[in-house]
Structure 1
Amino acid sequence: MPDPAATSAPAANATQSEGMTRLQKLAALLVMMGPDNAAAILRQFPPREVEAITREMVRFTLITREQQEAILRELTPVILTAATAVTAGVETARATLEKALGSFKASDILGRIAPSRPVPAAMQDLTEMDPRNVANLIRDEHPQTIAFVISHLPPEKAAQVVNLLRPEQRDQVIERLAMLAPTPVEVTEKVAEVINAKLGVKQTRALTQTGGVTTAADILNAMDKEVSRSLLASLEERNPDLCMAIRKKMFTFEDLRRLDNQAIQRILREIEMRDLVLALKKASEPLKQLILSNISRRAAETVREEMAFLGHVKLRDIEAAQFRIIDVVRKLEAEGEIDLDVENTPEDVVV
Structure 2
Amino acid sequence: MAGVDRVALLLMTIGEEGAAEVMKQFEPKEVQQIGIAMASLKDVKREAISGVLDAFMANVEGQTSLGMGSDEYIKKMLTQALGEEKAGSVMDRILIGANTKGLDTLKWMDARQVADIIRYEHPQIQAIMVAYLEPDQAAEVLSFFGEKVQLDIVRRVASLDTIQPIALQELNDIMEKHFVNGSAGGQTSGMGGVKTVADMLNFLDSSMEAPLMDAIREIDEELGVQIEDLMFVFDNIGDIDSRGIQALLREVESETLVLALKGADETIREKIFGNMGKRAAEFLREDLDNKGPVKLSEVEGAQKEIISIAKRMADSGEITLAGKGEEML
Calculate the TM-score normalised by the size of structure 1.
Answer: 0.48
Query: What is aligned with 1:281?
Result: 258
SS in 1 for 2:231: helix
Whole-angstrom distance in 2 between the partners of 1:255 and 1:291: 12
- What runs of 5+ residues in structure 1 fail to find an aligned partner? 1-13, 30-43, 46-77, 94-108, 345-351
Counterpart amino acid of residue 231 in structure 1 = L
Whole-angstrom distance in 1 between the partners of 2:136 and 2:307: 21
Counterpart amino acid of residue 173 in structure 1 = I
Whole-angstrom distance in 2 between the partners of 1:128 and 1:191: 18
Cα distance change, pair 242–267 in 1 and its aligned pair in 2 (3 A): same
Whole-angstrom distance in 1 between the partners of 2:307 and 2:85: 23
Contact 2:101 2:180 in 1 (8 A): no
Which 10-residue stretch deviates more, 230-239 or 168-177? 230-239
Whole-angstrom distance in 2 between the partners of 1:274 and 1:120: 31
Whole-angstrom distance in 1 between the partners of 2:257 and 2:127: 37
- 1:243 deviates by 1.0
SS in 1 for 2:126: helix
Identity over aligned pairs, percent: 14
Whole-angstrom distance in 1 between the partners of 2:315 and 2:105: 40
Whole-angstrom distance in 2 between the partners of 1:191 and 1:330: 31
Work out which of the residue numbers 57, 63, 69 in structure 2 matches 1:26. Answer: 63
Q: What root-mean-square deviation, in Å, do the aligned CA atoms of Structure 1 and Structure 2 show?
A: 5.9
For the pair shown, the structure with the greater C-alpha radius of gyration is: 1
Q: How does 1:127-142 map to 2 (within 5 A)?
A: 130=113, 133-134=116-117, 136-138=119-121, 141=122
Residues 1:149 and 2:129 are matched in the alignment: yes
Query: What is aligned with 2:78?
Result: 83
Counterpart amino acid of residue 88 in structure 1 = G
Whole-angstrom distance in 2 between the partners of 1:202 and 1:129: 20
- 1:88 deviates by 1.6
Work out which of the residue numbers 137, 142, 154 in structure 2 matches 1:174. Answer: 154
SS in 1 for 2:125: helix
Whole-angstrom distance in 2 between the partners of 1:241 and 1:294: 29
Query: What is aligned with 1:339?
Result: 322
Whole-angstrom distance in 1 between the partners of 2:250 and 2:181: 55
Kindly provide the CA deviation profile for residues 38-81 of structure 1, in whole angstroms up to 9, marking residues without a partner as x: xxxxxx86xxxxxxxxxxxxxxxxxxxxxxxxxxxxxxxx5x76
Residues 1:303 and 2:299 are matched in the alignment: no
Contact 1:147 1:173 in 2 (8 A): yes
Cα distance change, pair 277–239 in 1 and its aligned pair in 2 (3 A): same
Query: What is aligned with 1:48?
Result: none
SS in 2 for 1:137: coil
SS in 2 for 1:239: helix
Cα distance change, pair 92–136 in 1 and its aligned pair in 2 (3 A): closer
SS in 1 for 2:163: coil
- 1:119 deviates by 0.5
Whole-angstrom distance in 2 between the partners of 1:268 and 1:204: 42
Contact 1:271 1:328 in 2 (8 A): no
Whole-angstrom distance in 2 between the partners of 1:338 and 1:157: 21
Residues 1:119 and 2:102 are matched in the alignment: yes
Counterpart amino acid of residue 168 in structure 2 = T
- What runs of 5+ residues in structure 2 fail to find an aligned partner? 1-49, 67-71, 293-297
- 1:292 deviates by 2.0
Counterpart amino acid of residue 227 in structure 2 = C
Residues 1:186 and 2:163 are matched in the alignment: no
Counterpart amino acid of residue 24 in structure 1 = E
Counterpart amino acid of residue 54 in structure 2 = E
Contact 1:159 1:222 in 2 (8 A): yes
